[in-house]
Amino acid sequence: MTAGHSDPGLLDRMVRSSLGWLEGARGQFRLPANVTTDADPNLTLKPLGELAELTQLIGVLHPREDIRHTARGLFAFAWNETRDGELFAELIRGEPFATYPVELYGVFAQAGLRHAEVDELVRTTTRLRGWRVAREDHTRTLGVLNAERRIGLRQHADFSAVLALTGLGGLPEPWALDRKAAYGVTHDVFHLTDWGRNRQRLSPELAQYLRLWLPSWLENWLEEQLWDLVGELLAVTACLPKAPHDPAAWQRLADAQAADGSVPEMGAAPSSDDPDELFTACYHSTLVTAFAATLARIAADEAEAGPSGGDPALVGGRTPCESESAP
């Protein structure tokens, strides 16, 4: 992998700029009145859930206080939109066997934001035999398992056994990865490491596999200008022990970020005047950029401080013996 020094200034500018755009997009994140009935969850719950997931992490882990402060504000906004969790009680009563309300609730529960009625509901629904059936794919199952862990529920399956069935766990030929499989691999890593909070959960074997092949994938999707996947691959790179840093890749992602902070999902910035269309085209990549730059910033600080200088806020931290190059 290209060895290079990170540019903390660039990384911080990217996070600030992304968060600035997200601040301005609060109106689009706001949940409509029909969110629990006929609204399209891909345009309502999914964006809000992502906002919560990633701003929670940035709000706790970013080394700069001003950035943490902005991120915490967005996270509080998201919780407020769920009406302090009441939304989840409604969603679960409407669809008691769906996993997505549990996955979304997990984001808030791990931050200590609980709703007593939701806690009781999920204790009942997640202990059913029916809850243990396989999800659409193994990567999604990892997401459900991670949510159960966050909420403090008994995990319905063995995490390692499910991981072994995923696109990451199977160590597929790296040249056989298509776009969908690439998103699968990034999310396998995110669920396994709790979105970079527990990077030591990445086994030496998986870390070595990723260290070898991430540069190829990154180069491929940089060429295709698929910016959200580029951001996800950079985030995964930052999860590796002694994370390598590719300054050229970061610069290319920075160049894709518009002056207003938005990052298009693909190619050049969309030219539409419709704010909803712009939001849909940009919110995901913009969040991912802020997230990836935060993880890369943490990795850069660790590289600076040496192996024992990790951020104590990272649960579990990291020890040198967890590097894949260790005996």
> What whole-number distance in Å separates Cα of residue 8 and Cα of residue 14?
10
Binding mask 248-287 for other proteins (x = CB under 8 A): ----------------------------------------
**What's the min distance (Å) between Cβ of 248 and other proteins?**
8
> What whole-number distance in Å separates Cα of residue 5 and Cα of residue 300?
8
Residue 194 DSSP class: T
**What's the min distance (Å) between Cβ of 220 and other proteins?**
5
Single-letter code of the amino acid located at 43: L
> What whole-number distance in Å separates Cα of residue 63 and Cα of residue 160?
31
> Which CB atom, from 249 or from 253, has the smaller least distance to other proteins?
249
Please, are residues 112 and 84 in contact by the beta-carbon 8 Å criterion? no
**What's the min distance (Å) between Cβ of 217 and other proteins?**
8
| By CB under 8 A, residue 203 contacts other proteins | no
Element (H, E) at 291: helix 275-305
| By CB under 8 A, residue 11 contacts other proteins | no
Helices and strands per DSSP (H, E), number in the chain: 14, 0
> What whole-number distance in Å separates Cα of residue 170 and Cα of residue 182?
13
**What's the min distance (Å) between Cβ of 226 and other proteins?**
12
> What whole-number distance in Å separates Cα of residue 259 and Cα of residue 250?
16
> Which CB atom, from 108 or from 217, has the smaller least distance to other proteins?
217
Interface region with other proteins, contact rule CB under 8 A, candidates 16-24, 70-78, 129-137, 209-217: 209-217
**Helix, strand, coil share of the chain (percent; to 5):** 65, 0, 35
> Which CB atom, from 272 or from 325, has the smaller least distance to other proteins?
325
**What's the min distance (Å) between Cβ of 211 and other proteins?**
9
> Which CB atom, from 4 or from 309, has the smaller least distance to other proteins?
4
Binds other proteins by CB under 8 A, chosen from 75, 195, 209, 279: 209
> Which CB atom, from 137 or from 219, has the smaller least distance to other proteins?
219
> What whole-number distance in Å separates Cα of residue 31 and Cα of residue 246?
38
Ranges within 34-93 binding other proteins (CB under 8 A): none
| By CB under 8 A, residue 215 contacts other proteins | yes
- Can you give the C-alpha Rg of the chain in angstroms? 19
| By CB under 8 A, residue 174 contacts other proteins | yes
Binding mask 217-236 for other proteins (x = CB under 8 A): x-xx--x-------------
Please, are residues 41 and 28 in contact by the beta-carbon 8 Å criterion? no
Binds other proteins by CB under 8 A, chosen from 216, 251, 272, 308: 216
| By CB under 8 A, residue 183 contacts other proteins | no
| By CB under 8 A, residue 171 contacts other proteins | yes
> Which CB atom, from 215 or from 307, has the smaller least distance to other proteins?
215
Binding mask 122-161 for other proteins (x = CB under 8 A): ----------------------------------------
> Which CB atom, from 24 or from 215, has the smaller least distance to other proteins?
215
> What whole-number distance in Å separates Cα of residue 12 and Cα of residue 238?
15
What letters, b where the CB count within 10 A reaches 16 and e where it falls short, cover 248-283?
ebbebbbebbeeebbbbbeeebbeeeeeeebbbbbb
Please, are residues 197 and 314 in contact by the beta-carbon 8 Å criterion? yes
Please, are residues 89 and 121 in contact by the beta-carbon 8 Å criterion? yes
Residues binding other proteins (CB under 8 A): 2, 171, 173-177, 209, 212-213, 215-217, 219-220, 223
